């Protein structure tokens, strides 16, 4: 019986030691107004207990760089209605889902170039938000990220962005929007119910206009659609009562347009006076003829029209993984979302420090690179098509964090547990020794 009890206690001690080892990898703690967790030497904010007002996100917590704001951090804060502005550190890379949801006093937000992801619903319902400045490192803006931000009247989407989530700017008061060529995913309902939107330009990277992208934009008068769109889904311009002009920049007309009775017509509840416009040397129907319910108007003319047979330049876009790289870590760069509207890509060249010299070149769209020092590095890709035309991306900043380091005043989570179990073990051994005398 004594041996059995001794074995149980030893097992408890081993479990306690394993518990400490696990917590050394992911720990939780508090510094100032911020609760945070640590994983792989990087801190993520998990809670806030401050008084609101103009807050500054700390660049380090517990000696670790702050790289992310977790889900719901400010959503349930007691200072919810008092947060007026936020300053982010340059090491931050991720804004979590729901992070500032319904912070109704928040008036301005500026994202540093280090931020790559703005999560789903991150600023949903921030009704006082008037100024949104998105840094050049952002690649993804999530579902409904700025939906119902009714005071937002203008925003610049940088050329680094590749994905705009569903409903991303819906129910805002944007007056115009330009979607850059870098965006390849424009999800449905993205600008639904933007009641003051009058014009929209869709870049050459988008291939599909998804359901209800601009539905109920009642003041929308003119739209320019980029050269790569092949599919137009249901109700894209539903209830756009003021729409008068749709201009297509592609030489090849979209082949999948939801205009049949079985679909919710892409132009449902729009004026019959709308006219479509395309290049003379495109395969769109000529003026006066029908394109899936849209009557074509006069051709696009002047300097904007490419001469027949002239090569169109390619589109250069790239992403990288992991999203939070560290020094000496191999980072996978992928330019496979780059495209050529009238041909194919033959060469991919990489400039790793924005000095104008392309250090790597490949016939395939992927490359691997690493850095030996922490910092923000400007990376550029240049693509060449089969006719020799080239296109360079707008330089995108890749943030490189330092490797995991030990805080200056380290704490050992779970130490108290080991201490208690050890004390029990020592007491038992002393008791057993006394019994054996």
Model pLDDT for residues 388-409, shown as the tens digit of each residue: 888 777 567 788 887 644 444 4
Question: Average pLDDT, stretch 342-357?
Answer: 88
Residue 211 pLDDT level (bands cut at 50, 70, 90):
very high
Looking at residue 413, what is its pLDDT? 47
User: What span, in angstroms and rounded, lies between the C-alpha atoms of 145 and 141?
Assistant: 7
Q: Is the pLDDT of residue 23 over 60?
A: no
Kindly state the percentage of the chain with pLDDT values over 70.
Answer: 81
Looking at residue 95, what is its pLDDT? 96
> Which of 162-171, 186-195, 356-365 has the least mean pLDDT?
356-365
**Domain 319-400 in CATH: superfamily?**
Immunoglobulins (2.60.40.10)
Q: Compare 387 and 98 and report the one with higher pLDDT.
A: 98
Q: Is the pLDDT of residue 22 over 60?
A: no
Q: Which pair of structure tokens corresponds to residue 239?
A: 């209830």
H/E segment holding residue 11: helix 2-25
Residue 28 pLDDT level (bands cut at 50, 70, 90):
low
Residue 10 pLDDT level (bands cut at 50, 70, 90):
very low
360 strand-pairing partners:
350
Burial environment of residue 12 by CB neighbours within 10 A (0 to 12, 13 to 18, 19 or more): middle
What's phi and psi for 261, nearest 5 deg?
-55, -25
Report the half-sphere exposure of 201 (CA within 13 A, side-chain side): 9
Question: Average pLDDT, stretch 368-372?
Answer: 93
User: What span, in angstroms and rounded, lies between the C-alpha atoms of 87 and 64?
Assistant: 18
Q: Is the pLDDT of residue 351 over 50?
A: yes
Burial environment of residue 222 by CB neighbours within 10 A (0 to 12, 13 to 18, 19 or more): middle
Question: Average pLDDT, stretch 380-391?
Answer: 86
Q: Compare 372 and 51 and report the one with higher pLDDT.
A: 372
User: What span, in angstroms and rounded, lies between the C-alpha atoms of 372 and 209?
Assistant: 42
Looking at residue 311, what is its pLDDT? 74
Q: Judge contact between 149 and 127, C-beta under 8 A.
A: yes
State the fold for domain 1-173: 3.80.10
User: What span, in angstroms and rounded, lies between the C-alpha atoms of 161 and 242?
Assistant: 29
377 strand-pairing partners:
398
Average confidence score pLDDT of the chain: 84
Residue 69 pLDDT level (bands cut at 50, 70, 90):
very high
Q: Judge contact between 176 and 200, C-beta under 8 A.
A: yes
User: What span, in angstroms and rounded, lies between the C-alpha atoms of 198 and 243?
Assistant: 9
Looking at residue 378, what is its pLDDT? 86
308 strand-pairing partners:
none
Q: Compute CA 378 distance to the chain's CA centroid, rounded to the nearest angstrom.
A: 18
Q: Is the pLDDT of residue 129 over 50?
A: yes
Q: Is the pLDDT of residue 433 over 70?
A: no
Q: Judge contact between 174 and 154, C-beta under 8 A.
A: yes
392 strand-pairing partners:
382
Say what angle helices 415-435 and 2-25 make with each other, to 10 degrees.
160
Residue 77 pLDDT level (bands cut at 50, 70, 90):
low
> Which of 24-38, 262-276, 423-437 has the least mean pLDDT?
423-437
8-state DSSP, 177: E
Q: Compare 434 and 319 and report the one with higher pLDDT.
A: 319
Task: List all residues 6 or more positions away from 40 whose beta carbon is below 8 Å from its beta carbon.
Answer: 25, 326, 404
Q: Judge contact between 296 and 285, C-beta under 8 A.
A: yes
Note if the pTM is more than 0.75. Answer: no
Q: Is the pLDDT of residue 225 over 90?
A: yes
pLDDT in tens, 134-186: 998 999 999 999 999 999 999 999 988 999 999 999 999 999 999 998 899 99
Looking at residue 402, what is its pLDDT? 79
User: What span, in angstroms and rounded, lies between the C-alpha atoms of 417 and 136?
Assistant: 46
Rg of the chain, C-alpha, whole Å: 28
Task: List all residues 6 or more positions away from 133 whose beta carbon is below 8 Å from its beta carbon.
Answer: 109, 110, 111, 156
Q: Which pair of structure tokens corresponds to residue 173?
A: 């008061």
Question: Average pLDDT, stretch 179-200?
Answer: 95
Is residue 130 helix, strand or coil?
A: coil
User: What span, in angstroms and rounded, lies between the C-alpha atoms of 411 and 167?
Assistant: 43
Q: Which residue has the tokens 């049949």?
A: 260
User: What span, in angstroms and rounded, lies between the C-alpha atoms of 45 and 29?
Assistant: 10
Q: Is the pLDDT of residue 123 over 90?
A: yes
CA-nearest of 329, 299, 308 to 399 is: 329
Report the half-sphere exposure of 400 (CA within 13 A, side-chain side): 19
Determine the number of helices (DSSP H) and then strands (DSSP E) in the chain. 2, 32
Looking at residue 278, what is its pLDDT? 95
Looking at residue 27, what is its pLDDT? 54
User: What span, in angstroms and rounded, lies between the C-alpha atoms of 264 and 289?
Assistant: 22
User: What span, in angstroms and rounded, lies between the C-alpha atoms of 178 and 386?
Assistant: 29
User: What span, in angstroms and rounded, lies between the C-alpha atoms of 376 and 16?
Assistant: 40
> Which of 72-76, 89-93, 360-364, 409-413 has the least mean pLDDT?
409-413
CA dihedral 235, 240, 244, 249 (to 10 degrees): -40
Residue 4 pLDDT level (bands cut at 50, 70, 90):
low
The 3-state DSSP composition of the chain as helix, strand, coil percent (nearest 5) reads 10, 30, 60
User: What span, in angstroms and rounded, lies between the C-alpha atoms of 117 and 246?
Assistant: 32
């Amino acid at each position: 019986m004594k041996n059995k009890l001794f074995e149980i206690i030893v097992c408890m001690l081993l479990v306690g030691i394993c518990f400490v080892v696990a917590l050394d990898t992911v720990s939780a703690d508090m510094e100032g107004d911020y609760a945070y967790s640590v994983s792989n030497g990087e801190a993520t904010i998990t809670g806030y207990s401050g008084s609101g007002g103009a807050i500054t996100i700390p660049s380090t917590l517990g000696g670790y760089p702050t790289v992310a704001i977790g889900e719901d951090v400010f959503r349930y804060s007691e200072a919810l209605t008092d947060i007026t502005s936020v300053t982010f550190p340059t090491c931050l890379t991720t804004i979590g889902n729901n992070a500032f949801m319904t912070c109704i006093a928040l008036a301005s937000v500026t994202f540093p170039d280090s931020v790559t992801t703005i999560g789903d619903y991150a600023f949903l319902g921030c009704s006082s938000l008037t100024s949104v400045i998105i840094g050049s490192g952002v690649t993804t803006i999530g579902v409904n990220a700025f939906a119902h931000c009714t005071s937002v009247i203008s925003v610049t989407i940088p050329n680094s962005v590749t994905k705009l989530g569903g409903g991303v700017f819906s129910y805002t008061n944007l007056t115009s929007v330009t979607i850059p060529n870098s965006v390849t995913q424009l999800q449905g309902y993205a600008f639904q119910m933007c009641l003051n939107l009058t014009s929209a330009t869709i870049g050459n990277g988008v291939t599909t206009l998804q359901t209800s992208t601009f539905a109920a934009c009642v003041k929308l008068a003119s739209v320019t659609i980029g050269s790569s769109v092949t599919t137009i889904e249901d109700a894209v311009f539903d209830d756009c009562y003021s729409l008068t002009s749709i201009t297509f920049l592609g030489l090849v007309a979209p082949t999948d347009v939801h205009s049949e009775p079985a679909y919710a017509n892409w132009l449902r509840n729009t004026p019959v006076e709308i006219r479509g416009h395309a290049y003379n040397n495109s395969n769109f129907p000529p003026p006066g003829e029908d394109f899936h319910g849209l009557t074509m108007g006069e051709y696009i003319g002047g300097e904007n029209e490419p001469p027949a047979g002239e090569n169109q330049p390619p589109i250069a876009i790239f992403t990288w993984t992991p999203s939070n790289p560290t020094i000496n870590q191999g980072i996978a760069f992928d330019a496979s979302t780059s495209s050529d509207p009238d041909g194919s890509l033959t060469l991919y060249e990489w400039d790793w420090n924005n000095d104008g010299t392309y250090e790597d070149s490949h016939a395939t769209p992927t490359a691997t690179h690493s850095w030996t020092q922490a910092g923000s590095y400007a990376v550029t890709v240049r693509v060449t098509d089969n006719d020799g035309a080239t296109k360079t991306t707008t330089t995108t900043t890749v943030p490189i964090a330092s490797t995991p380091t030990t805080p200056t005043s380290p704490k050992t989570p779970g130490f108290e547990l080991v201490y208690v179990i050890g004390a029990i073990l020592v007491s038992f051994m002393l008791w057993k020794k006394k019994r054996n005398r």
